[in-house]
Amino acid sequence: MTRKIAFQGEAGAFSHAAAHAVFPDDEILPCTTFEDTIGAVQNGDADFAVVPIENSLYGRIADIHHLLPESGLYIVGEHYQPIRMNLLGVPGATLDDIKSVQSLSVALGQCRKFISRHKLKTINAVDTAGSAHEIAEKGDKSVAAIASKLAGDIYGLDVVAENIEDADHNTTRFLVMSRKKDEAPAGNGPVKTTFVFRVRNVPAALYKAMGGFATNGVNMTKLESYMVDGSFTATQFYADIEGHPDDRLVRLALEELGFFTDMFKVLGVYPAARVQGD
């Protein structure tokens, strides 16, 4: 049976490419916002959501950290999507024809050297795929979009120049979210565990809470803090560790964490994905 996979953005977005990479045989469901993407899984309109969590150049995708803990969804997988920027023009356009380039500000920022070298005027837009869509509708050879090859295929644009990003290691990490809890088994390959917690209001609580991971040799690959409900005094932490909660050393580390926290919630236990090139 074909499943529906929700992602944020228009058809041809990099999130679309990631969703297709994870679920190549299933139906995609474009959503306007991250809230809509999560909501599609919550209400049953989609079976899974593929959402960006962090980028190797720009860091975390802030909205997602606030949405996931309260979503009621579970992380059941991860995927690393290489981000390859392409200059897309209307059919027949050449680099000499193009005077302006339109895209998401982050995408423009990732292609500064190319834009500067070719003296292109930049036009900020809400997303990459939407820019490709607009350029296709305008039919103006002097204006191009920066987006994925997938967007070019969908909207009938030519790839005028490919892989124009400043850094070739540009990669976005995506999480696969589901209504159903589906934890990876222990002892069957590399596993990650993601959780959120708040420390008790005692001196050096965070330092003490982290001690159990160090003494038990558990690798914490991610630890980030963010405010809760706009309060400067209520801080929540988001963490990824390597290992399964049933592993002895992970269990001991989590037990020690429990002594210094007043809230702890596992968001997912899932197979660890490999970054391309690693």
**Nearest 5 degrees, angle CA 224-CA 226-CA 227?**
160
Residue type, 210: M
Task: Tell me how many helices (H) and strands (E) the chain has.
Answer: 9, 15
**3 state DSSP class of 195:** strand
Exactly one of 37, 172, 194, 261 is catalytic; name it.
172
Closest CA to 111 of 164, 160, 163, 152: 164
- Residue 95 region, left (φ>0) first, then alpha (ψ -120 to 50), else beta? alpha
Closest CA to 50 of 70, 78, 27, 25: 78
**Is-catalytic flag, 172?**
yes
**Is-catalytic flag, 195?**
no
**3 state DSSP class of 62:** helix
Q: How many CB atoms lie within 10 A of CB 67?
A: 19
Q: Rounded CA gap, 141 and 62, in Å?
A: 36
Two structure tokens written together for 2: 């074909």
Exactly one of 23, 174, 195, 237 is catalytic; name it.
174
Give alpha helix (H) positions in 216-259: 248-258
Please identify every residue annotated as catalytic: 172, 174
